Amino acid sequence: MLFDTLVRVDAEGRGHPKLAVAWQADRSFKRWQFWLRPGVHFWDGGPLTSETVVTALSGRAEWKARVDGQFVVIESEVSRPGLLAELALARNAIVRRGSTGGPVGTGPFLIKSFVAGKSLELAANNGSWGGRPFVDGVKIEFGKTLREQMVELQLGKVDLLEVGAEQIGKVESEGRKAQVSLPMELVAVVGGAGKAKELEALSLAVDRKAIQSVLLRGGSEAAGGVLPEWMAGTGFCFRYRLIWRRGGTL
């Protein structure tokens, strides 16, 4: 919404163009080359260039980014066949500092005002490369309980509200419609180092089925690693699974 990434991935983990229109990797998946979308500008009118992309992606321990002519090259010491999924994460969005020191992006909305812990107001970006949004602005409020949000929804003061997976059943019982999102919150048991048998016993003691069906009301999926299955696609490699929790929008 605010800051674009080079690519996006769908529910099957396939990459699609965003700020990058094409890419290729070598056989080892250690070197990736990206072609940037032409004619893209930041909110303040500055152009998107290979240099700005490299600056935004630099400083990561996972890889090194550099400019190679008109291209952006990302190199890693280890094979990264899942690099597209990593680049699609919000933390790898292409952002730079504006003249006032605030973040500037290329997304369809720009920041109109922000009050920490209270509200974020967005305005449509008329120069968005993907086209102007259909709404003029969006206001997001923070720190309100579900009850407070429900009251405002009933009074017509808000159009959408976000609820946790464990609350979807409640709001649906009231005749509301909930749209379930892809799982983006990790639920896991974290502990110190231990013997293999102890860790195996702890893993077997976790009732994942009950957590998924009762606690999270089916709004989750098991994952074999720290990335959800729809993003990583490597769950079959792991015997024991974590749980990725889904969110909902009402």
Interval 192-220: pLDDT, tens: 666 667 767 777 777 777 777 776 666 67
Closest CA to 18 of 26, 30, 1, 31: 1
Domain ranges of the chain: 7-99, 185-249
Contact call for residues 86 and 80 (beta carbons, < 8 A): yes
Contact call for residues 228 and 166 (beta carbons, < 8 A): no
Q: What is the average pLDDT value for the chain, to the nearest integer?
A: 82
Q: Which CATH class is domain 7-99?
A: alpha beta
Instruction: Specify the range with the lowest mean pLDDT, choosing from 5-19, 95-109, 194-208.
Output: 194-208
The span from the CA of 21 to the CA of 40, in Å, is 12
On the question of pLDDT at 7 being above 70, the answer is yes
Per-residue pLDDT band at 148 (split at 50, 70, 90): confident
